[in-house]
Every structure is written in C-alpha cells, then in structure tokens.
Amino acid sequence: MAGAVMKPELTIGPAPIPTWFQIGGTAERFARIDSLAQLRTALDIDPGARTLGDGANLLVDDDGVADLVLALGGEFNQARIDSATGAVHVGAGYKLPKLINDCVNVGCAGLEALAGFPATLGGCIAMNAGGRHGEISQFVQRVHIIDRNGRQRTLERADIPFTYRSSGLGDTIVTSVELQLQPGADIAALKLRQREIMEFKKASQPLSASSAGCCFKNPTLMEAFQEFAPGTRVGAGLIIDRAGLKGLAIGGASVSPQHANFVVTTKDAKARDVIALLAEITRRVHDTCGIQLHREVVIWSRHTD
Ligand SMILES: Cc1cc2nc3c(=O)[nH]c(=O)nc-3n(C[C@H](O)[C@H](O)[C@H](O)COP(=O)(O)OP(=O)(O)OC[C@H]3O[C@@H](n4cnc5c(N)ncnc54)[C@H](O)[C@@H]3O)c2cc1C
C-alpha cells in the first residue's frame, strides 16, 4: 500500500519483573526492545511505558503494574570504546560492571571508581549513581534520549541538570550515553583500585543479601544533629543506626545489621513489607532525630505515581 509505514513487531506479554530485591509483582505487559524503531512502536502503544534497567534500585508493588514495561537489549546493549582517546559510546541497556571491566582492560581510567554496584547505563544515568569515590555524571559528555512522543534528542553535559542521585531528565528514556575517560592509564593500577573499592563495599555492605542498595538518600542537614553541623550531608545509614533501627523488621523485610541504609529481604518477603518498613524508618528517624529522609529506591505501583 502506497505511503504505508511498517512498524516493527513487538512481542508483548505478562512477565515477572526481575529486581535485586527478588520479590514483588509482575508486569501485565512486558516487551524486550532491541531497536529505536521498536522503542518508538512501544511508546505509540503506551506513552506511559516504564523502563526497566537492571532492577537494582527498584521495588515493584505486590499487585504488579499495568503499564507496558520495557527491557532494553539488542542495539542498546552495545559499547564502543576508543582506547586512544578515552571516548566511550555505550547503549542504555549495557551493564555498568561489564563496562567498567571493558574500560579497565584497555587502560581507560575513571569508571573503576563506580565498582561494586549493579546497574545498566540507562539506570545509572537516571539515578546519577555513584558514591564516595565518584558518580557517573563526572564522566558524561552527552546523553541520547527519546521523549514520550518518540522524539530523539542529544543533550550535552552542560544541559543536563544532574544533582545528587538524579539526572533531572524526568520521564525521558535514555537510549545511549557518551562518556569521556582518561586514556593510557596503567591497567594493573586500575585493577587494584577497582579491587580495593569492591573490598571496601564487601566489608561494609550486605552484598550477598537481596536488597536495592541504599534505600534513602543521604540528607543535607537543616539543623545540627549530634556532632554534625547544619548544611552537612550525612549518611542516611548512620542516622538510621543512631535512631537504633538496625535489625528492625516487618514481615520478611529488615534493616541490615551491617549497613542500616540497606533493607534486606527474605525469599518469602512481600513488597508491602518493604514499603511498610521504609515508612516506619522514615517516621522513627523523624521522631527521634528530627530529620526527614527521602527515598532513593524507586517504587513501581499501579496504585500510586
Ligand atoms: C547491592 C547493591 C549496591 C548498590 N550500591 C549503590 C551505590 O553504591 N551507589 C548507587 O548510586 N546505587 C547503588 N545501588 C542502587 C543501583 O545499583 C543504582 O541506582 C543503579 O543505577 C540502578 O540502575 P538499574 O539499571 O538497575 O535501574 P533500575 O533499578 O532498573 O531502575 C531505576 C530507575 O531508573 C529508571 N531507568 C532505568 N533505565 C532507564 C533508561 N534507559 N532511561 C530512563 N530511565 C531509566 C527506571 O525507570 C527507574 O525509575 C546499589 C544496588 C544494589 C542492589
């Protein structure tokens, strides 16, 4: 037919939503997306579609979600690393730990500072993930996105309102990322640094338990708290610990005795246990320390948002 536009087929069906909590509800409609054309089709079908990364900062409510859930693979799972210049162009579905290894192995320095946590590059940008050794926004040159109307855009670093644990990119979908790393670094030194950071994390965090890492953002104090002056950013884990909440449990969810900002779950935990525990932590920290915590972990629910 003249003028007909062929749309790429999508296979859409119900599926579990894999998260690092290893609990939670399912997607009524789930699709693996391998190309930009498929992504546009998906957004035509459901402009409110949700993008799943590695599920490392995500809790899905027990009742699951009705929106289309998209998992990026195919062309979003590719990386080009120019070891001579340190320029990296990587798809949003590519796993951060793999990219760190790829870069370290060709002597491109920078990303080893982000060793020791799971993510896709898309999720990492969305969350501006990082920690005491650095955050992803330090290395960003450009981010390629698509908006809910299927319009593609390339954003320069200076135009992206990154802040602590946020990209400020709203509901746009990251499709790929350009990073600038330092080329020509000593590979053995990079591997050592990567190992040291991972060892530090293993010693201080319950990495073998099911969790989403830190559940709350580290607050900047409005008023003095114990030895900390107003304006200081203090670890939420330290505050939760000082509030005496290590070990607090609701159903199969509990505050890790190793790191109080980690909520860990048993296999039979319900997402509602985690949600109730997060609310209880927030309430008790506010009541005992006068500090308002804000959630870092993202919750998908058909009942809120
Ligand atoms: C053991 C453990 C340790 C952790 N340690 C850290 C740490 O040290 N520092 C840290 O910052 N985080 C940490 N986290 C949390 C998590 O690793 C990061 O937040 C990570 O960036 C999440 O990426 P993801 O791909 O898993 O995103 P998901 O959890 O799948 O999604 C998180 C959010 O990002 C959105 N998103 C995903 N992909 C895209 C995309 N392509 N475009 C737009 N939005 C997208 C989702 O819709 C969702 O809103 C830890 C988690 C675990 C389980």
Whether the predicted pLDDT of 9 surpasses 90: no
Q: What is the mean pLDDT of residues 153-164?
A: 98
Q: Evaluate: CB of 234 within 6 angstroms of ligand 1.
A: no
Separation of 295 CA from ligand 1 center, angstroms?
Answer: 13
- Taking the centre of ligand 1 as the mean of its atom positions, its distance from the CA of residue 211, in whole angstroms, is 12
Tell me, in angstroms, the distance from the centre of ligand 1 to residue 57's CA: 4
C-alpha distances (whole Å) from 9 to each of 3, 52, 275, 279 are 18, 20, 37, 42
93 plus 180 within the same structural domain: yes
One domain, residues 64 and 103: no
| Ligand 1 center from residue 250 Cα (angstroms) | 24
pLDDT for residue 221 is more than 60: yes
Residue 300 lies in a domain: no
138: which DSSP letter?
G
| Total number of domains constituting the chain | 3
Q: Residues of the chain with pLDDT > 70: what percent?
A: 97
Helix segments in 91-216, DSSP class H = 96-105, 121-127, 187-204
Q: Residue 238: helix, strand or coil by DSSP?
A: helix
Distance between CA atoms of 5 and 138, rounded to whole angstroms?
41
119 lines ligand 1 (CB under 6 A): yes
Do 98 and 181 lie in a common domain? yes
35-71: pLDDT as tens digits: 999 999 999 999 999 999 999 999 999 999 999 999 9
Q: Which atom of ligand 1 is nearest to the CA of 296?
A: 19
Neighbours of 275 (CB within 10 A): 20
Are 189 and 217 found together in one domain? no
Same structural domain for residues 98 and 188?
A: yes
In a domain, 144, yes or no: yes
Note whether 103 and 60 are same-domain residues. Answer: no
* 109 lies in the same domain as 171: yes
Give me the domain span that covers residue 281.
206-295
Atom 21 in ligand 1: which residue has the minimum CA distance?
124
Residue 6: DSSP 8-state: P
131 lines ligand 1 (CB under 6 A): yes
Distance (angstroms) between ligand 1 centre and the Cα of 193 equals 22
Q: Is 13 helix (H, G, I), strand (E, B) or coil?
A: strand
Antiparallel, parallel or unpaired: β 65-72 and 26-33: parallel
CATH number, domain at 68? 3.30.43.10
CATH no. for residue 107?
3.30.465.10
Residue at which a domain ends, from 161, 186, 201: 201
* Active site members: 165, 214, 296
**What pLDDT, on the 0 to 100 scale, is given for residue 1?**
45
Residues 54 and 90 reside in one and the same domain: no
- 130 Cβ below 6 A of ligand 1: yes
What local confidence, expressed as pLDDT, does residue 87 receive? Answer: 98
Collapsing DSSP states into helix, strand and coil, what is residue 193? Answer: helix
pLDDT digits (tens, 9 = 90+) for 112-144: 999 999 999 999 999 999 999 999 999 999 999
Residue 305 placed within a domain: no
280 found inside a domain = yes
Q: Is the CB of 50 under 6 A from ligand 1?
A: yes
At 72-91, the pLDDT tens digits run 999 999 999 999 999 999 99
Per-residue pLDDT tens for 94-116? 999 999 999 999 999 999 999 99
20 CB within 6 A, ligand 1 = yes
Rounded mean pLDDT, 204-208: 95
pTM of the model: 0.96
CATH of the domain at 239: 3.90.78.10
Please report whether residue 1 resides in a domain: no
Q: Does 52 map to a domain?
A: yes
Type of residue numbered 1: M
